[in-house]
Amino acid sequence: MGSTRRTLALFLVLSLAHLLLMSVQVQSRSGLPLIQAAAFSVFAGVQRVTSGAVGGVGSFWSNYVALRGAVAENDALKTRVLALEGQLQAQAAMVSQTQDLERLLTLQQSLVAPTLAARVIAGDTTPGAFTITIDRGAADGVEPNMAVIGHAGVIGRVINRPTPHAAQVQLLVGHSAGAGAMTEQSGAVGPVRGGAGNPPLEMDYVDLLKDVRVGERVLTSGLDGIFPRGFVIGTVERTVKGSGVYSEIAVRPAEDFSNLQVVLVVLSRPAPMEGGS
């Protein structure tokens, strides 16, 4: 029994060897031996799988690196754009300030009353305060109740006692501010006071018989002893006949109080008898 198994095993080994020998000698369609072609096919498949995996990893890494580079370049461009925008705004502010100075210089040369140019260095953040601080004070001849004007019109008056090199200015649009006024064409006279309305100025005690027109300029009358006669306050925006003998006049300021940079302090006040209508 044992010898029969050994004989069978030997026969199988010899048969397998014979088959291998034949496969080496038999050629495939490509001209290669059949066993070599089979081995090449197997290894080629393995190589394709490996190459695909490595190529996929390489492509992913290249895309990742390219994406990181694009993000960094985009951030750099954004930073550059912000820097350029900041430079443009700074140049625009410089141009605006230069234009204000030129207009004030022209106005200063045309005024009979002596004036002093000053820069706005601070604003009061208290709600309803409506005050600014300028860089001229007692050492420059600035005193309380001196008029302060801009290139377009009246701004306000100096309040409190100035320090040697600074002074506080109450804006005309403030709740407790006011100025003597008159209309340019109709000749109506009355005080202009600040308020919270729109527009923020009102002209009170205007004679109902005066034909005040919308668009008419409102000027200082000089009757308050602070603002010399003839400075522009604003224009009439609305007229309403009151219940009594007076008209209600709404005035739009000539000055833009939200963007004050440089001003003129009028160093002289009107004479007591000035301003008769």
CA distances in angstroms from 219 to 213, 230, 261, listed in the order given? 14, 5, 23
d(CA 147, CA 143): 10
Q: Domain 115-266: give its CATH architecture.
A: Beta Barrel (2.40)
Query: What is the reported pLDDT for 47?
Result: 53
Relative to beta strand 178-183, strand 189-194 is antiparallel
Alpha-carbon Rg for the chain in angstroms: 46
112 compared with 192, residue with greater pLDDT: 192
Query: What is the reported pLDDT for 233?
Result: 96
Query: What is the reported pLDDT for 149?
Result: 92
Query: What is the reported pLDDT for 259?
Result: 83
Query: What is the reported pLDDT for 277?
Result: 44
pLDDT in tens, 43-96: 455 555 555 554 555 566 566 566 767 777 776 776 666 566 555 554 554 555
Query: What is the reported pLDDT for 45?
Result: 57
Are 121 and 139 a contacting pair, CB within 8 Å?
no
pLDDT in tens, 125-171: 566 678 999 999 999 999 999 999 988 899 999 999 999 999 999 99
pLDDT in tens, 159-208: 999 999 999 999 999 988 999 999 999 999 999 999 878 899 999 999 98
Query: What is the reported pLDDT for 77?
Result: 74
pLDDT classification of 105: cutoffs 50, 70, 90: low
**pLDDT, average across residues 239-263:** 88
> Which residue(s) pair with 191 in the sheet?
180
111 compared with 198, residue with greater pLDDT: 198
Query: What is the reported pLDDT for 177?
Result: 93
Asked if residue 199 has a cis previous peptide bond (ω within 30° of 0), the answer is yes
**pLDDT, average across residues 201-224:** 93
Write the Ramachandran bin of 187: left for phi over 0, alpha for psi from -120 to 50, otherwise beta. Answer: left
Residue of 143, 153, 204, 160 whose CA lies nearest to 178? 204
270 compared with 23, residue with greater pLDDT: 270
